[in-house]
Amino acid sequence: FRCHSNQCNRPLVNIIRAMALKEALSRWEKKTGEKASEAKEIKLYGQIPPIVELDSSLSTLTNCEKLSLSTNCIEKMTNFNGLKNLKILSLGRNNIKSFSGLEPIGDTLVELWISYNLIEKLSGVHYLRNLKVLYMSNNLVKDWAEFSKLAMLPQLVDLVFVGNPLQEKNASAGGWMEKACKKLPNLKKLDGENADPRVKHVQC
Distance CA 180, CA 120 (A): 17
Rounded to whole angstroms, how far apart are CA atoms 149 and 162? Answer: 17
Q: Domain ranges for the chain, please list them.
A: 7-91, 97-204
Given a contact cutoff of 8 angstroms between Cβ atoms, the answer to whether 158 and 194 are in contact is no
Answer yes or no: CATH 3.40.1830.10 is held by domain 97-204. Answer: no
Amino acid residing at 11: P
User: Residue 22 contacts by C-beta under 8 Å, 6 or more apart in sequence?
Assistant: 55, 57
pTM as predicted: 0.90
Longest alpha-carbon distance in the chain: 55
- 41-43 and 158-160 beta bridge pairing: unpaired
Which residues are paired to 158 by β-bridges?
133, 189
Per-residue pLDDT of the chain (204 residues; tens, 9 = 90+): 345 555 554 444 344 579 999 999 999 999 999 999 999 999 999 999 999 999 999 999 999 999 999 999 999 999 999 999 999 999 999 999 999 999 999 999 999 999 999 999 999 999 999 999 999 999 999 999 999 999 999 999 999 999 999 999 999 888 899 999 999 999 999 999 998 654 434 444
Per residue in 160-187, is it b (16+ CB within 10 Å) or e — as a string? bbbbbebbeebeeeeebbebbbeebeeb
